Amino acid sequence: MKTYLVTGGAGFIGSNFIHYILKKYGDSIRVVNLDALTYAGNLSNLEDVSGRDNYEFIKADIRDAEAVREIFKTHDVDVVVHFAAESHVDRSIRTPEVFVETNVLGTCVMLNAAREAWEKEDGGFKEGKKFLHVSTDEVYGSLSDPGEYFYETTPYAPHSPYSASKASSDFLVKAYVDTYHFPANITNCSNNYGPYQFPEKLIPLMINNALKGRDLPVYGDGKNVRDWLYVEDHCKGIDMVIEKGRIGETYNIGGHNEKENIEIVRIILDTIQELLTQGDDRREMAQKSRIKFIEDRKGHDRRYAIAPDKISSELGWKPETMFAEGIKKTIAWYLDNEEWMERVTSGDYQNYYDRMYGAE
């Protein structure tokens, strides 16, 4: 029975990934979810799987080498899927050091523990072990020319403290591959959207604000471009790389779905109009007049766009959910899960929001 150690499994992509593999592999796998439950981690994302015999949650910090080593001692881990990170660019601009600690040092702790558990006496590694490091397209920097794309060979040029910390963690993984022949893969994915995303990121923030009749804060001229992928398609890509990816290789994941931020906000407003019936207060509140262009993000990358040629041709990955369908599913999920939104925004979220955007 294969054991997956998923770090950051209580976060947005991690919880979607746990749902994805438990649905796909059922009781034939075991899942251990290691998460420190920061502001971004929420166990209610996993309520429906928490009672399963083949799922276990361990509250631990990836920076805590002792705690992580203990997990490898008590579980025969086959695959590490390393999601745990500080993931929000705006927060990294305010507190870069937290990003270095979790994303760089935390990744080093995970790599050391896996290496210690998996290395054989002859310096080789036990059969069937793999460390999948989940990374981002932001490590490649920013694009301007519309015909340009990020390939696995594109040189790293991170700009934000977040992307610099992710780039550093990627280089650490590459160093373990080159130095120890450590069995790892890296995936660099574009912007994800879907259920369980914390409302600090563009799409859930705009959905939440629109439904509550709040301002819709768009940075700069709103023309920065992101390449959006439905989270389940990302999870499928990660699973394929775990199963079939060549050891030591990097795979870019993205579905050629580039959109300007302002277009995303307009699509969200139109979709809310479509999904809610006339007379619903939330429908009346979600108006374009609420769009406010505000001060730009410092060092704001202009455009990201992934070339997924390698994962498509080598592993046969392709996205299944087109944006029109994915955004509808996502908004419908937030409409059905207003309680989830209340819960995640009831703690420190309001302080963060007021600091970031000013109190309304």
Q: Which structure tokens are listed for 64?
A: 């805590």
Interaction of residue 330 with ligand NAD, rule CB under 6 A: no
Nearest distance from residue 133's CB to ligand TDX, in Å?
Answer: 13
12, 20, 149, 323: which one contacts ligand NAD (CB under 6 A)?
Answer: 12
200 in catalytic set: no
The Cα 347–Cα 309 span in angstroms is: 42
What does the alpha-carbon distance between residue 42 and residue 40 come to, in Å, rounded to a whole number? 7
297 binds, among ligand TDX, ligand NAD, none (CB under 5 to 8 A by kind): ligand TDX
> One of 78, 137, 170, 233 is an active-site residue; which one?
137
* Binding status of residue 41 toward ligand NAD by CB under 6 A: yes
Tell me, yes or no, if 25 is annotated catalytic: no
Which residue of 35, 227, 239, 258 would you call a contact of ligand NAD, by CB under 6 A? Answer: 35
Positions in 200-219 near ligand TDX (CB under 6 A):
201-202, 205, 217-219
**3-state per-residue secondary structure call for 297-313:** CCCCCCECCECCHHHHH
The least CB distance from residue 254 to ligand NAD, in Å, is 9
**What is the Cα–Cα distance from 324 to 88, expressed in whole angstroms?**
25
Interaction of residue 138 with ligand TDX, rule CB under 6 A = yes
Rounded Cα–Cα distance for residues 329 and 323 (Å): 10
Given the DSSP bridges, would you call strands 258-260 and 225-227 parallel, antiparallel or unpaired? antiparallel
45 binds, options ligand NAD, ligand TDX, none, Cβ within 5 to 8 A by partner type: none
56 is catalytic: no
From the list ligand NAD, ligand TDX, none, partner contacted by residue 61 (C-beta under 5 to 8 A by kind): ligand NAD
Nearer to ligand TDX, 220 or 248 (CB): 220
The token duo for 218 is: 């768009």
Residue type at 286 in one-letter notation: A
Which of 82, 88, 91, 115 touches ligand TDX (CB under 6 A)?
A: 88
Burial 91-106 (b: 16+ CB within 10 A, else e): bbeeebeebbbbbbbb
Q: Is 352 in the site for ligand TDX (CB under 6 A)?
A: no
Residue 194 CA: distances (Å) to CA of 55, 160, 257:
23, 24, 15
> With binding defined as CB under 6 A, does residue 261 bind ligand NAD?
no
